[in-house]
Structure 1
Amino acid sequence: MKSFDVAIIGSGPAGASAAFELSKSGISTVIIEKETLPRYKTCGGGFVFRGRKNMPFDIASVVEKEFHSIDTYFSKKHPHLTTTRDQPIITMVMRDAFDNLIVEKAKENGVTLLQNHKVENITFGDTQILHTTEGDIEAKFIIAADGALSPIAKIAGWKETRTIIPALEYEIEVPKADFERLSQNVRFDIDAIPYGYGWCFPKKNHLSVGVGVFTKTNKKINLKEHYATYLQTLGITEILSEAAHGFVIPVTPRTDIFVQKNVFLTGDAAGLADPLVAEGISNAILSGVQAAQAIIESNLDSEKAAALYTAKLEETILPEIRIGAKLSYHFYHQSTFRNIVLKKYGQFVAEAMTDLFMGERTYPADYKASVTRKIKEAIF
């Protein structure tokens, strides 16, 4: 039976980044991946600058496009807003190439990759025995980076406490004129779908177009119908090829704990996507790195590692997400008040959101007072 200090389940941004961080410390690490890399992964592929600027190596080889401007549309009643920065606000990647790049960097430093190994169960103890389709693997620590559905979290005993929302994305090829017209900027259309938005992310040779509901609602919403309507909004009347991908995104974190039985939850498994815009790559990478750092700094002490990881999340990601979740509710459920504010302060809000993407500011802790003040100013 193969034995390691750390077993990482999943080779996405969280898992691969954790592996790369561990690889610098000499801690024996294995990535257990159920598929063969590179593999397609449903994702808008928009990597914001706050995440890219912290990458420990150049990712230029897997960049599809870079965008220094973002267009945000709210409704026909409001002019669209454009923000621009000197650095790329959003970098477009295809997740198969992006994830594989990070994995390859980790392998260069000695990390083992086991492909086509699906974890079926785990025996917990002083060390954990992972029972995979290709045999057993032993490890003291497990980093669960296995996405929104996270079978590892279920095996380890977590109950579901995250808010998980649905999204639908199509990878489409359109006529040259439409592609050239729509590939100049990243585009967001707020309220293209109730309680959410539509997006048009230009890649190298195609568009990633989708719609998602980004806050909890009891109303049933037909994603396909809203996607079809959104194509009309974009002026797309002909599609040369189309591949549909439905997926879910956790937009609130787990409410109990992030470590138990020496299993560390990261990325979507922990529920760390941004609640307002549902961008998850940057926080997935950060949480993977922090889980690895906690294990390294603890000198492989289980209790210390768990406490360190929790503290790191509480100092960085979790406060942002908790505030973002409250803002998200007001943004999507109180559109009348939102539009009053945006009518007068739309550009300010757009610039503030862009600063968040750039990593130049955080969500305001006193957002209620700030929003109330802006509404009063707009009304009176």
Structure 2
Amino acid sequence: MIECDVAIVGAGPAGCSAARECTRRGLKAVILEKKRIPRHKACSGILVPDSIRTLSEHFGDMAQDVFASPSHVHAMRMHFPSGNAGDIPIQGLMIWRDRLDAWLCKSSQAVVLDETKMLSFKEGIDGVDLLCIKSNGELLEVHSRILIAADGGASRTVKQIDPSLTAKLTWYVALQETYACECHLEPGLFHFFAFPGISLYPSAYVKDGLLVMEVVAQPKDKATSAMARFKEHLWRRIGIQQACLIRRLGCRVTYAAPKGLFCFGSERILVSGEASGLLNFFGEGISSALASGRIAGSVSFESIRQGVSPGRLYRQEIETEKRKTVSTFNYKTLLFQEGNAFNFKKGLQVLNWRERVRLSKNLLKWFLAVKG
């Protein structure tokens, strides 16, 4: 039996951010991660300015081996079926998720139990009891005063807390393929292809000389078919030579914000990151994961200090992040409001009026097609 103040399921940015806030305030935090750390994730690895700021304030300087080359992503270049393209400033950093998460685990100063899967949990008046299993088959019991669920979009915790909500969500499949090859795709940019006929979110970029391609498939489509369409479109345009598949990763994705299908937990269970529904329109989730994890950790400390359940306070404190996520699904807010992960307003401002109108029309056409 392990006893702790806060048990955290998931060793991604949300879980580690929560753990860091807990340990910083003197709480005993235990992170439970079903995979062995480090592990790859189907994630672009782009850190937008909000993420960079939170990491700097909360964790300090990142280890150099976390960064990919090139380490800076200057813009998202949007390619349209019309043949036009436009750059949306990001001013972000490019990292590898396996290395980032390993560094976050270490920097959190929490107890990290990787290769440990939560099987079930039971919420009580004074805490939450968890039953876990290690990779060797050994069962492990954990008792915590608070449970923070940061176990990703297909959260087992959320499914148990609110099964009816999970059933209402529309699920997509994200597929990422990494190739060793020679190509002419410009590095230092996140290339986004606004081609709904290919996939919801086809994207490609270069990391450490490798070509990374991603698609998100509709429920009635196959991710492998979407990737085949994307490769047919892209490869002949960027002069692919001697392509060798290095890695293929996938995951299930859902967008809770348009229908308001968020789940932030119960009285003693706090749900953060993508598990809660905090995933913006472009599928960038690290910034909200770090922010919501930090809030969950802070609320955990305050609730223990005051001797009250954390659920109500967490739902109040998380409201700003919730509104920020919802706003990205609004076309006007996305284009004209500052503070989004991708600075569309600045991207439009540097164009002349003809280019501005053309880009806005292309964006609107794609936006409406994606929203259905």
TM-score by length of 1: 0.78
User: How many angstroms apart in 2 are the aligned matches of 1:307 and 1:197?
Assistant: 35
Counterpart check, 1:252 vs 2:256:
yes
1:129 to 2:129 alignment? yes
The residue that corresponds to 2:28 in the other structure is: 28
Residues 210, 353 of structure 1: CA spacing in aligned structure 2 closer, same or farther, 3 A cutoff? farther
Residue 229 of structure 1 deviates from its aligned partner by 2.3
Q: 1:105 aligns with which of 107, 123, 143?
A: 107
Partner of 1:220: 221
1:22-52 C-alpha deviation (Å, 9 max, x unpaired)? 1111111100112221122221112212211
> Which secondary structure does the structure 2 equivalent of 1:299 belong to?
helix
Give the deviation of 1:354 after TM superposition.
8.8
Tell me the matched-pair count.
Answer: 331
Instruction: Give the conservation status (yes or no) of the 8 Å contact 2:88–2:342.
Output: no
Q: Secondary structure at the match of 2:27?
A: coil
Distance in 1 of aligned mates of 2:194 and 2:12? 28
Hey, what does 1:169 align to over in structure 2?
176
Equivalent residue runs for 1:362-377 within 5 Å:
none
Letter in 1 for 2:230: Y
Q: How big is each residue's C-alpha offset from its partner over 1:147-195, in whole Å with a ceiling of 9 and x where there is no partner?
A: 11111222334430444322211011112xx16x432422111116456
Q: Which amino acid aligns with 1:50?
A: D
Letter in 1 for 2:261: T
Counterpart residue number, 1:72: 78
Indicate which of 294, 298, 305 corresponds to 1:293. Answer: 298
Q: Hey, what's the Cα distance between the residues in 2 that align with 1:354 and 1:237?
A: 41
1:73–1:246 Cα change, 3 Å = same
Greater share of strand: 2
Counterpart-to-counterpart distance in 1, 2:343 and 2:302: 26
For residues 298-346 of structure 1, the C-alpha deviation after alignment (integer angstroms, 9 at most, x for no partner) is 23557552122111221x2111222323449x99xxxxxxxxxxxxxxx
| Contact 1:128 1:139 survives alignment (8 Å) | yes
Indicate if the aligned counterparts of 2:130 and 2:141 stay in contact, CA closer than 8 A.
Answer: yes
* Distance of aligned partners of 1:163 and 1:292 in 2 relative to their CA distance in 1, 3 Å threshold: farther
**For residues 5 and 50 of structure 1, do their structure 2 counterparts lie closer, same or farther at Cα, with a shift above 3 Å needed?**
same
Quick one: distance in 2 between partners of 1:206 and 1:50? 26
CA contact 1:252–1:321 (8 Å) conserved in 2: no
Give the SS at the match of 2:61. coil
Q: How far apart in 2 are the matches of 1:38 and 1:313?
A: 29
Question: Partner residue of 1:92?
Answer: 94
In structure 2, what is the equivalent of residue 81 of structure 1? 86
Q: 1:164·1:252 contact (CA, 8 Å) conserved in 2?
A: no
Give the whole-Å Cα distance in 2 for the aligned partners of 1:324 and 1:355.
10
SS at match of 1:239: strand
User: Which residue identity does 1:220 align to in structure 2?
Assistant: D
Match of 2:61 among 55, 58, 62: 58
CA distance in 2 between counterparts of 1:242 and 1:257 reads: 36
Give, in whole Å, the separation in 2 of the partners of 1:300 and 1:195: 48
Provide the residue aligned with 1:236 in structure 2: 240
Of 272, 279, 289, the match for 2:278: 272
**DSSP 3-state at the match of 1:37:** coil
For structure 1, the 5+ residue unaligned runs are: 332-348, 363-370
- 1:339-373 CA deviation, whole Å, 9 max, x = no partner? xxxxxxxxxx5xx58962268989xxxxxxxx9xx
1:42 match: secondary structure: coil
Percent identity between the two aligned chains = 24
User: How far apart, CA to CA, are the structure 2 residues paired with 1:207 and 1:353?
Assistant: 32
Deviations 1:80-131 (A, max 9, x none): 11245xxx62211111100111111112xxx211122111111321222111
246, 265, 268: which one aligns with 1:262: 268
Contact persistence 1:37–1:96 (CA under 8 A): yes
Mapped partners of 2:63, 2:4: distance in 1: 32
- Aligned to 2:157, which of 152, 158, 178? 152
Q: Which moved more, 1:221-230 or 1:32-41?
A: 221-230
- Mark the CA change 1:360 to 1:170 in structure 2 (over 3 Å): closer, same or farther: closer
Going from structure 1 to structure 2, the CA distance change for 1:283 and 1:162 (only over 3 Å counts) comes to: farther
2:202 counterpart residue number: 198
Structure 2 residue runs without a partner (length 5+)? 134-138, 347-356, 365-372
Specify the code of the residue in structure 2 equivalent to 1:70.
Answer: M
Q: Provide the secondary structure at the position in 1 that maps to 2:147.
A: strand
| Alignment partners' CA distance in 2, 1:305 and 1:230 | 50
Q: In the alignment, is the contact (CA less than 8 A) between 2:262 and 2:276 conserved in 1? A: no
Alignment-derived partner of residue 281 in structure 1: 286
Question: In angstroms, what is the RMSD of aligned CA positions?
Answer: 3.1
Aligned equivalent of 2:340, options 347, 356, 365: 356
* One-letter identity of the residue aligned with 1:79: N
Distance in structure 2 (CA, Å) of the matches to 1:317 and 1:199: 25
**Residue type at the aligned position of 2:318:** L
Aligned to 1:336: none
Pick which of 152-161 and 57-66 moved more. Answer: 152-161
